[in-house]
Structure 1
């Protein structure tokens, strides 16, 4: 064999791994979990959201294609989140972005995914603008939103006599949307919004001055338009000041089970909150929790983390139904396929995805148990009422989503 033949043979052999790598990449769906891994929202999102996404991949089972999960911390900063999203899509070939905690980051990533034609399944950001004026054909908003929270928790507080409100609001898109939507429900029910203060986000840990200002307004309800450690810090400091002992009610408009755990039942007892998933709600939620629990470090999954599980599971069903090549080529087509297929999972049961990208399922109003009522660790909620799926979220025509034709 001459030298030319040897070189040609070596070139062919060298090309084989490259061909295999390209074939593997073409048959691999890449999911990027972009959330808060270290800050205010770590406990309601963070590593346990990643664990739930991985559990969805495991539960989906044999599929004929590969799934790779990437993870990044956006630090609750829109610029950081946007840069990661662009790099993932342009350099790493990510097909779907998941979770995207923090509404300001979510809205930035929402625009990038629309521009790049990639799927965005949002679980933890709450702004209802994701299915309203800022809706995108590539976005599905899964777990909750500010409209649902305002209607369920806010509406319940007004019906119980809380007709004058003062808001302590996280000063970014989520807090503004939650204050807006709750305020609308309060006024529609004949109540009044006396005032509001905006607290810097992130970075506020001392809420004492804001609580004193709220108490001075003589409101009946202090609406906490915040989340995560901001909410727990507000509740703890309100207890220290004895605010609730003076007859003022706290409305934790977004409080999840990790927040209750952080507060402890002695402090959190009696608080009312709205959730779309609770680990001990029924046999299916308990079965899911049993499967994922070994990866959660002793915690129970929050609704936001369950939303990551359910969103990934439904997305993979759509990919299998339409084919990997088509799913990778067009996020719009992948989301359209998701909308066309009924949803079904152990966390939320049967449901659907509307034309505006809103995932529809029931909303549950819970009251936090007293220490005496709790039978075991993480046994924190008693169910007060359930709002049916078709009533829980904003009416389709009322959100101003440009995807909806009049």
Structure 2
């Protein structure tokens, strides 16, 4: 549990400008005290409580895990440790990538601890379980997981998706590369829903851009030997070999592609790559890999400054999930402060009203379907010779405007959106 002490704000500055009468010193004090009581009453439990729920020790611990906790703390500290005159308390939970475990933690937080908002998840099955629970309990869920259904058919009035999804990183990646004359594609797809979704989105984008998917092969989850699949893809002569997979499947394929000399004759692309993946593979193996990311620490002065502060706490540069969790928590707290309440409906309304402008998103906004729209970046992994310092792994090839990379609202399956 993490908490901050707070001091009383100058609530007199918040009085309505329509009040014109002059107050005596005693009257002013009474009015100030009355205002404090009114405002305080709108914050449940006299405190704003938020939770970070993710994988703290398993597959996704590096890309989210403890780093997301540090990112949330940075957001809290940026608000001075308090909003609406009340202190902020932070709780941390490990869902172990199990939906039932995540739901149990969330239910306990909502029912017993008075938690107002839960962020991160980094696992779609856990995210869906808590998203539904948060709606039932009239709480807020801010999701950093890949499924487009969070803002599609499963959308709720009290949830938002913040970092990326299978459309931005599958369809968006294929769209921008096909436009750059990478016209022939071969898909190596992990054989379950995650891989199928990414492969389908990439196929649609390639064909819409005048390209062609010349072949596809599917492999089981957790395949240790990708050689036969890579040799088929190599023999196809496709411009791009796309890896519709993540985690160890993706990194195994990239390492073995390097052994077979796939690059630079053919380009490798993958939809779900994190800075920590590249760090674990090393530049020698990952060089020239192309993908879409929501954040890169070394993109500009602002991202470098924030990321170096993060590094001092965490010992590693931030992934896009870490930066996205910081952004979502910060925006939530700004909305609570603006609404002067932690009521989920009022806060979500403020979150949609306020622009998202921070180190993660310079011109972001929250749509009616719960999608936070922001720019994404097409990047390529540098060669060892190009890297100038530790963690200097990406070359940013293009900025993709948010309105172009996210699925249009007119195509949303969210029942909250009026078509």
Shorter-chain TM range is 0.7 to 0.9
Which of 139, 144, 154 is the aligned partner of 1:118? 139
The number of aligned residues is 375
Q: Give the Cα–Cα distance (whole angstroms) in 1 for the partners of residues 68 and 249 of structure 2.
A: 20
Q: Which of 117, 123, 142 is equivalent to 2:162?
A: 142
Aligned to 1:43: 62
8 Å CA contact 2:110, 2:116 repeated in 1: yes
> Which residue of the partner structure matches residue 115 of structure 2?
94
Give, in whole Å, the separation in 1 of the partners of 2:248 and 2:63: 10
Contact 1:30 1:94 in 2 (8 A): yes
Q: Distance in 2 between matches of 1:232 and 1:117?
A: 40
Matching of residue 252 in structure 1 with residue 270 in structure 2: yes
Q: Which runs of 5+ in 2 are unaligned?
A: 1-40
Q: CA deviation at 1:244?
A: 3.9
TM normalised by structure 1 equals 0.85
Name which of 253, 256, 259 aligns with 1:240. Answer: 259
Look up the match of 1:307: 324
SS in 1 for 2:332: helix
Shift in Å, 1:157: 3.4
Q: Name the CA distance, whole Å, in 1 between partners of 2:226 and 2:134.
A: 36
CA distance in 2, matches of 1:260, 1:223: 16
* More displaced 10-residue stretch of structure 1: 264-273 or 284-293: 284-293
Deviations 1:377-399 (A, max 9, x none): 11111121111222221111112
Q: 1:401 aligned to 2:401? A: no
Residues 44-102 of structure 1: CA deviation (Å, up to 9, x unaligned): 11111111011111111153212122222222222222222222222222211110112
Contact 1:205/1:230 (CA < 8 Å) preserved in 2? yes
Work out the CA distance in 2 between the residues paired with 1:208 and 1:112: 43
Partners of 1:209 and 1:98 in 2: how far apart?
Answer: 40
1:367-386 → structure 2 map (5 Å cutoff): 367-386=380-399
- Tell me if structure 2 keeps the 8 A contact 1:353–1:359: yes
Conserved 8 A contact 2:172-2:406 = no
Contact 1:221 1:250 in 2 (8 A): yes
Contact (CA 8 Å) 1:169, 1:179: kept in 2 or not?
no
* RMSD between aligned residues: 2.4
Note if contact 1:41-1:227 (Cα within 8 Å) is conserved in structure 2: no
1:27 is aligned to 2:46:
yes
Matched, 1:155 2:175: yes
Equivalent residue for 1:105? 126
TM-score normalised by structure 2 residue count: 0.82
Instruction: Tell me the SS of whatever aligns to 2:93.
Output: strand
* Contact in 2 for aligned 1:352/1:361 (Cα 8 Å): yes
Measured in 2, the distance between the counterparts of 1:25 and 1:401 equals 30
